[in-house]
Structure 1
Amino acid sequence: MSPAHRNAEQSLTHLAQRVDSLNTAVELGEGRVDADSMDHVQKILERTSRRRELSAEHTVIGFFGATGSGKSSLFNAVIGQKVAQSAARRPTTSKAQAAVWGREGSEELLDWLDVENRVYFDDDGENAAQSLNRAEVPQTDGMWNRMKKMMGRANLQTHSGGLILLDLPDFDSIEKSNRAIVERMAGYVDVLVWVFDPQKYADAVIHDEFITPLAEHGAVTMAVLNQADRIRESEMPGVLDSLQRLLAEDGLSDNLLAPPVAVSAKTGDGIDRLRAVLGKVAVEKSAALVRIEADLDSAVATLNEFDGNGIPDGITGTGIRELEHGLYQASNAPAVVSAAAASYQLHAVSNTGWIATRWLLKFRKDPLKRLNLHRENQETSISRSSLPPLSAGQKSQISSSIRRFSRDCAEGVGEPWSHSIRDAARSQEQNLLTALERAVGRVDYQGQKKQWWWILLNIIQWIGIIGALAGLLWLTAMAAAGYFQLQLPPPPVIEGTIFPLPTLLVITGLLLGIVTAVIGRVIAAAGKRMYARKIERQIRSNIEEVSEHYVVEPVRSELDRHQAFGEALANAR
């Protein structure tokens, strides 16, 4: 494979990679990049894709100019035949006219360009029209010729290439359809030849509305000053310098296809030089590729404006913890933890309190039952919980926590990604509110489940009450016997005490019940705190899952999207 073919293949491969990367950037930028910019880039990609499918052997060169610039006359002079026709009512072209060298593959390309008027030329003969697509290029075959080429002395060979010249309507035409043709062709042709006349070469319309927006396309742009016969020879350098400065102000400087050239369609001055440039472009067959590269540069530059200009701080452990804590505090969780702890203490005291008074606790409502979160309800349906709806203040606190988290994540990156990251954090805010309620409701509240120490203290309570009742019955029987003057043996007295056994049983039983009840309350208070921490851990764990799914993950996805967008743009450069 020759070096030229190898370079061409590498260029096409690089171009394909750029197009793929730019397509990826467009997909990732959807909804972030403004609609007009996205439409501009997508049109470029569509044109690029279509142009790559069409003839690579042809170079499309368009002649653009204002009314009176002599564009059509120049077109005819370059070809050497009268091909372009001006409209009957005024000296202006009303339709695009094509002059074609190399019919094969050109018709589909011209159909895409929507050019109906076509004139075909063959390669036989030596007149201007037949030789326009030819140029002498250095011979590259053989080591000796390659060495001579490096020294600028290589043997020359005449080559030809496919060529399509277009004479286009005037860009300042009063006909809107003509203007539309010019605007469309400015985006479609491979090479843009701007034809100026001495009087209007500084016209702001052509510079501001056409040349400046296409400043990136200097490598496929040429400026031609027509009607040079109307300028004195001594004034010509100054006029060309002035045109050069205007082009530099437009963004075109030393990257032009060729320096501005002065020609006269009337006298033929400079025409051969212009033909040589056009023939060289046709032979090299690289203008289409260069134009596509310039279009891609323009698309990348457009999307670069929406790259965010920075690196976001991203998701941090501190940020996640602050978000979770904010959601916990703003939800009903603290109130539910308090109710669960109170429920636990109520059941603990009900099972370990003094038997003589514990029945009074039956009149106290279980706090979890008021919220419909007691165990029996959980076994049927969590969704039937009676948690109070979040107040406006709570919702505001939740929104503030989300905004604070997203603002910290987006810190360091500009718009539009800063905005999209914040939007991502709030994208499921309504679902988050419901999920927070479920996160609180699906905790396993088992505050009424009997504990082993409840059973132990309860047994001790019953032993005490049974002893007290036995002593009380004994004393009652002794009192009744005395009343009926029945002789009963005296009750025994435990050594070391002053009380008879029945009295001692009553006192001991009552004291045992009271002491056990007090111990039960102390243990219940400690157990309440432990149980509250257990429930809080479960709720926080559930809120962590909710936070991850409804806030953190959307933000992480958007941050990844921003990074991928930047990488795609970098690969598209």
Structure 2
Amino acid sequence: MSRHGQVRQASRLQQRLEALNTVRELAEGILPGPELQAVYEVLERASSRRSLSAGHTVVGFFGATGSGKSSLFNAVSNTSLATAAARRPTTSAPLAGIWGEQDSGPLLDWLDVQERHVLPAVPGLASEDSGLILLDLPDFDSTAVANREIVQRLAGMVDVLVWVLDPQKYADAAVHHGFLRPMASHGAVTLVVLNQIDKLNDVDAAAVMASLEGILDRDGLGGVTVLGASAVTGAGVGEVRGAIERVVTQRDAVTRRLSADVDRVAAGLTAASGTGEARGVKGSATARLAAELATAANVPVVVDAVARSYRLESARRTGWPAVRWLLRFRADPLRRLNLGRKDVRPDLNRTSLPAAGAPERARTDAAVREFADTASEGAPGPWRASIRNAAREGREQLPDALDQAIAGTDLKASRRPAWWMLFNVLQWTALLLAAGGLGWLGILALLAYFQMPVPDVPRTEGWPWPTLMVAGGVGLGIALGLLGRIISGWAARVRARGAGRRLRAAVAAVANQRIVAPVDAGIKRLRDFNAALKDARS
């Protein structure tokens, strides 16, 4: 691959890793822990491997007991290191053959490979400074737990995996189900070698190779390179060397391996998450939710109280002064609900509205559930559950939040319209007029009673002025009272409608804060997750 192609591939890998990290952050608390842990491990491994030597390609030889893995390692590397390793005190430790010692130390430290051998050039495989690191590993079916752990750890760390199989156990489920099938996305950095073909004749060798390729195809590794070789006779060893040399020469095995890791965990996340997008928050659903919450929060009761309070206060301010004082004994509907007061902090005030009973709670629950179900429709299972949980959590905070919103809404109850003052002046004028007439008539009556001269009173159309004053004052008071009632009823409805709008707006704000916003955030989180996962997948 050209230098430009390598840079472009590495840049694309960086973008995918960043997207994968975004996916992990968005999926925290929603998707199962094992899938997220696998993502975290890939991100950590990618960060570590990319910070180490990019000039080395690590090729690991994996195989079962009796597959001739170590013998093939010796044949390919043109050494007897693996044979010597069998006589070492610690046979479970991996062994490294190195072509190009410079900068390999930190990489081998990260791999935790302690036994290292710098090797001379091998024609068809590597020059002295080609940057190849060939690992001979313990048997993956070893009875020693430590050996299996080493194999599993390094299978997730090396750049290229060479699986060495033999004609007797090439179809063993342990290697296919335990290693090859889970690594199906790593075909670009996987090489399968059927060793010991010298034990088969040409017909049987062809049949076994065909069978192996069929099994690998079912494992998801249909395009992987499969070679036959014999460490004893040397047959096919050159082809194995050539395949490894091509990988090393291309200088992109690290990127390919990490890209395959991203593919694997991204596929796991897709399976755990499911596919699909949520329907989303619609204006009509939000309006229905706010309307249901307004009813459950007794907004109609408060609106009715506003109207009745206005009519009562109007009667107190504009009614016949002689009897209006009796209205002082009637309780103000808003005060009974602990509303409309200006002498308390709205954020600390609470209403005296009746506590929500079972029907109101059921209505609220149904409204919240319907809203969440509608908004989350189409979302995959875990995400839909998360969106519903967000709505349920907000539902628990609704009663207190709604009560405080109603208590903090300005109902304009303290506003005194100008017509009250006008009617009040006219009513007192009418009362004073009637009282003046009555006083005048009383004086005339007293003068007549004591047989004193009674002066003539002015008349209009034959009617004495004192009588006209009484009749006019009383008539004006009655007329003002009736007109005041008409105006009060109309104004009360206007004020109640205004209070209703403000109350419903306050309830809608609570619904948006406690239910709509969390649900919308969950939907946006899913949308961002799907977009990031799409970027992470190749």
Which interval holds the TM-score relative to the shorter structure? over 0.9
Equivalent in 75, 100, 122 of residue 98 of structure 2: 100
Cα deviation digits, residues 345-388 of structure 1 (max 9, x gap): 1110111112222111111011222222233434x555233333
Counterpart Cα distance in 1 of 2:210 and 2:354 = 77
Cα deviation digits, residues 127-183 of structure 1 (max 9, x gap): xxx336338xxxxxxxxxxxxxxxxxxxxxxx9721111111111111111111111
Residue number in structure 2 paired with 1:516 = 480
Code of the residue aligned with 1:383 in structure 2: it is L
Cα deviation digits, residues 446-483 of structure 1 (max 9, x gap): 43543211122222222221222122222222322232
Q: State the Cα distance separating 1:264 from its structure 2 match.
A: 2.0
Within a 5 Å distance, the mapping from 1:477-516 to structure 2 comes to: 477-495=443-461, 499-516=463-480
Residue number in structure 2 paired with 1:55 = 53
Change (3 A) 1:448 1:10: closer
Code of the residue aligned with 1:384 in structure 2: it is N
Counterpart Cα distance in 1 of 2:105 and 2:125 = 17
Within a 5 Å distance, the mapping from 1:327-338 to structure 2 comes to: 327-338=293-304
Within a 5 Å distance, the mapping from 1:373-452 to structure 2 comes to: 373-378=339-344, 380-388=345-353, 390-393=355-358, 394-452=360-418
Counterpart Cα distance in 2 of 1:483 and 1:450 = 48
Counterpart Cα distance in 1 of 2:413 and 2:247 = 87
Contact conserved, 1:227 with 1:264, CA < 8 A, in 2? yes
Q: State the Cα distance separating 1:213 from its structure 2 match.
A: 0.4
Larger mean CA deviation between 95-104 and 447-456 belongs to: 447-456
Counterpart Cα distance in 1 of 2:400 and 2:125 = 73
Residue number in structure 2 paired with 1:217 = 186
Contact conserved, 1:59 with 1:190, CA < 8 A, in 2? yes
Q: State the Cα distance separating 1:314 from its structure 2 match.
A: 1.4
Equivalent in 246, 249, 264 of residue 280 of structure 1: 246
Within a 5 Å distance, the mapping from 1:111-122 to structure 2 comes to: 111-122=109-120
Counterpart Cα distance in 1 of 2:245 and 2:425 = 111
Counterpart Cα distance in 2 of 1:320 and 1:521 = 39
Change (3 A) 1:351 1:382: farther
Cα deviation digits, residues 84-123 of structure 1 (max 9, x gap): 1588799x95221111111112111111111112221133
Larger mean CA deviation between 397-406 and 27-36 belongs to: 397-406
Counterpart Cα distance in 2 of 1:382 and 1:288 = 60
Change (3 A) 1:390 1:76: farther
Counterpart Cα distance in 1 of 2:66 and 2:84 = 11
Code of the residue aligned with 2:125 in structure 1: it is N
Within a 5 Å distance, the mapping from 1:73-112 to structure 2 comes to: 73-85=71-83, 94-112=92-110
Structure 2 residue 236 is matched with structure 1 residue 244: no
Q: State the Cα distance separating 1:389 from its structure 2 match.
A: 6.2
Structure 2 residue 501 is matched with structure 1 residue 537: yes
Residue number in structure 2 paired with 1:6 = 4
Counterpart Cα distance in 2 of 1:420 and 1:456 = 61
Segments ≥4 residues shifted beyond 4 Å: 85-90
Q: Which runs of 5+ in 1 are unaligned?
A: 124-129, 136-158
Residue number in structure 2 paired with 1:199 = 168
TM-score, normalising length from structure 2? 0.93
Equivalent in 143, 154, 175 of residue 174 of structure 1: 143
Contact conserved, 2:227 with 2:236, CA < 8 A, in 1? yes
Residue number in structure 1 paired with 2:35 = 37
Number of matched residues?
535
Cα deviation digits, residues 509-544 of structure 1 (max 9, x gap): 222212211111121111111110111112122223
Counterpart Cα distance in 1 of 2:451 and 2:512 = 84
Q: State the Cα distance separating 1:406 from its structure 2 match.
A: 2.2
Counterpart Cα distance in 2 of 1:276 and 1:309 = 42
Cα RMSD after superposing both structures: 2.4
Change (3 A) 1:529 1:243: same
Counterpart Cα distance in 2 of 1:449 and 1:249 = 81
Code of the residue aligned with 1:243 in structure 2: it is L
Equivalent in 418, 421, 432 of residue 455 of structure 1: 421
Q: State the Cα distance separating 1:13 from its structure 2 match.
A: 1.6
Q: State the Cα distance separating 1:431 from its structure 2 match.
A: 4.0
Counterpart Cα distance in 2 of 1:244 and 1:448 = 88
Contact conserved, 1:373 with 1:382, CA < 8 A, in 2? no
Change (3 A) 1:161 1:375: same
SS in 2 for 1:194: strand
TM-score, normalising length from structure 1? 0.87
Q: State the Cα distance separating 1:268 from its structure 2 match.
A: 2.4
Counterpart Cα distance in 2 of 1:423 and 1:75 = 56
